[in-house]
Amino acid sequence: MVATNKTVPLLQLEHISIVPKKMPTRLLVNDVSFTIEAGKTTCVVGESGSGKSLTALSVMGLLSKQLQLNAGSVLFHDSENGVQDLTLLDAESLRKIRGRKIAMIFQEPMTSLNPVLTVGYQIGESLTTHLGLKGDKLKTKIASLLEMVGIPTSRANSYPDELSGGQRQRVMIAMSIACEPLLLIADEPTTALDVTVQAQILKLLDELKIHMNMGMLFITHDFGVVADIADNVVVMFRGEIVESGTKDEVLGNPQHPYTQALLACVPDAEGKKPLKPIDYAWLPENQNTTEVAT
Amino acid sequence: MSEPILVANHLVKTYTQRSGKFGFGTTLIKALDDVSVSLRAGSTLAVVGESGSGKSTLARCLLQLQPLDSGEVLFAGQDLSKISGAALRTVRKDLQMVFQDPFASLNPRMRVGEIVSEGLLIHGLGSSAEQQKKVIAMLKRVGLTEADMQKYPHEFSGGQRQRIGIARALVLKPKVVVCDEPVSALDVSIQAQILLLLKDLQQEMALSYLFISHDLRVVRHIADDIVVMHKGKVVEQGSVVDIYQQPQHEYTQNLLAAIPGKKVVNA
């Protein structure tokens, strides 16, 4: 377990801007800054196209070649190397961080596993690469990881297509926590799953966060999930942060009209609140027209 | 209580799955195990359950998109499981479906105008000028424009594509529409728009919906009655209000407890 210095946050994003290389004037992510502390979950919320996934990918240095990080720094703090700016690292040093210190769970469990390798092998890969585990030691570690995420250890020799969606997402989680990373980035890890499975996965992530004192960057568009898992919330709209704060601040007393609109369109389980489409009337471009879509 | 429009009695559907070494063995999986449901005219019946509980199989079997092993599906005085060919095609005009994934259920090589008018063409409803008119009216009703007819599906967002899917189903003026998770692939901000559209259209066109979903928050807002399925069996059914207030079966209670963010959304 790494003791993180209280005064330095685990991850600090400073003025991140992302643009397409061919159109450098179009800001896909515009001046985004927030911090993540060890043992805390920061949720990034927003509709599709708001830049939340791009922000997460930029932390890992996984942006596609057509995009470029225009400005800003990603300061990552670990006890071995002190504070490093991830945007300045070369590919080799990044490779040592990815999977070892920062891990990621992708959105679709159906497509993010390799179909021709057993799940046990895929979980073990990062253990061999980063920690040099082999043979029996590796097997025991894989078994204990599978157990931790609630999959029978005998399934280590199964291929991804033999597992259900929820199980595959558990395998993804086991892969990502294998090296006990300091930071876990989860990009809509439960969007493709059933409610019951979703509840299990959220509970599991929350336990792991406490157990391993992991910082977590959690991307979602569902405020229900935010309420269950977040410590801090960042709301993004069209590439910019419109509001951020602790969960109670943002959910209990939303200040920005977009946050209010987004909260209002989440259906409630009692059916007391009337269904409301999202309201963009607050946008400056809609101010002169009073028309609101019904 | 209005009359039932679509009644299914004792539906059974089994799949065989290869198992054992090299897939030499077979296991029977009961996707539907003696399922009976009835949809009241003008109302919405929600089918909820986790993945693999048989809810999509139920939808497909009701529309005869998959053959049943046994059981009967009664619609307009006919048993749909007994008829086939031309007779079935005629009935299908009144039974339409809105699919789950708006990215996979529209032909990428067809223009939106062609996609929506195809049903009219197949059923030979009206001259081509009339068909054109109907398509335009329907597209406008779901919030798209006449100019969108010339576009291809990839030019639209997920919410807009689902609107195209709805227009395609409703242009035939069906009586029963089966919606298979119509909003689960959409953003929360778009979901409410589509749900409200479905609700408005139900009133206007006197539609009956069979609404398949695993999101109990959505179901609460759109459904009148609810059927809870688990492992191919119906474990509980009744009105939405009753089941949400007093779930009897343990599985229903678990489902309700799994709704994310109960505390805050209730506040």
Q: Report pLDDT digits (tens) over A24-35.
A: 888 899 999 999
- Alpha carbon of B76: minimum distance to chain A alpha carbons (Å): 33
Q: Are A101 and A2 in contact (CB under 8 A)?
A: no
CA nearest to B209, candidates B25, B33, B39: B39
Using left for φ > 0, alpha for ψ between -120 and 50, and beta otherwise, residue A14 falls in beta
A35-52 average pLDDT score = 90
Joined tokens for residue B41: 């005219």
Nearest to B50 among A196, A267, A269 (CB): A196
Residue with the larger pLDDT of the pair B261 and A279: A279
CA nearest to A105, candidates A56, A156, A36: A56
A281 pLDDT more than 90? no
| Average pLDDT of the residues of chain A | 86
Residue with the larger pLDDT of the pair B186 and A74: A74
- Alpha carbon of B114: minimum distance to chain A alpha carbons (Å): 27
pLDDT in tens, A142-190: 999 998 888 888 888 889 888 887 788 889 989 998 998 999 999 888 8
> What is the interface pTM, i.e. ipTM, of the complex?
0.71
Q: Are B240 and B217 in contact (CB under 8 A)?
A: no
A48-56 average pLDDT score = 87
A268-286 average pLDDT score = 77
- Alpha carbon of B47: minimum distance to chain A alpha carbons (Å): 14
B8 pLDDT more than 90? yes
A110 pLDDT more than 50? yes
Q: Does B265 touch chain A (CB under 8 A)?
A: yes
Q: How many CB atoms lie within 10 A of CB A37?
A: 17
Nearest to B214 among A195, A270, A277 (CB): A195
pLDDT in tens, B16-55: 877 766 667 777 888 899 999 999 999 999 999 887 788 8
A4 pLDDT more than 70? no
Q: Which of A268, A282, A294 to mutate to test the interface with B (most CBs of B within 10 A)?
A: A268
* The predicted structure's pLDDT at residue B181: 87
- A218 falls in which pLDDT band (50, 70, 90)? very high
Closest residue in chain B to residue A228, using alpha carbons only = B261
pLDDT in tens, B230-249: 988 999 999 999 999 999 99
**Which residues does A contribute to its contact with B (CB < 8 Å)?**
47-48, 164-165, 194-199, 202, 221-228, 251-252, 261-262, 265-271, 275-278, 293-294
- Alpha carbon of B252: minimum distance to chain A alpha carbons (Å): 11
pLDDT in tens, B154-184: 888 888 899 999 999 999 999 999 998 888 8
Q: Which one-letter DSSP state was computed for residue A251?
A: I
* The predicted structure's pLDDT at residue A292: 46
pLDDT in tens, A5-30: 456 889 999 999 999 988 888 889 99
- Whether residue B191 and residue A267 make contact (CB cut-off 8 A), yes or no, is yes
Helix (H, G, I), strand (E, B) or coil at B78: strand
Lowest mean pLDDT among A32-36, A205-209, B9-13: A205-209
| Average pLDDT of the residues of chain B | 88
Q: Does B50 touch chain A (CB under 8 A)?
A: yes
State how far the Cα of A181 lies from the Cα of A127, in Å rounded to an integer.
12
Using left for φ > 0, alpha for ψ between -120 and 50, and beta otherwise, residue B87 falls in alpha
- Whether residue B190 and residue A293 make contact (CB cut-off 8 A), yes or no, is no
Helix (H, G, I), strand (E, B) or coil at A74: strand
* The predicted structure's pLDDT at residue A219: 92
A183-187: strand order across its sheet: A102-105, A183-187, A215-220, A41-45, A232-237, A240-246
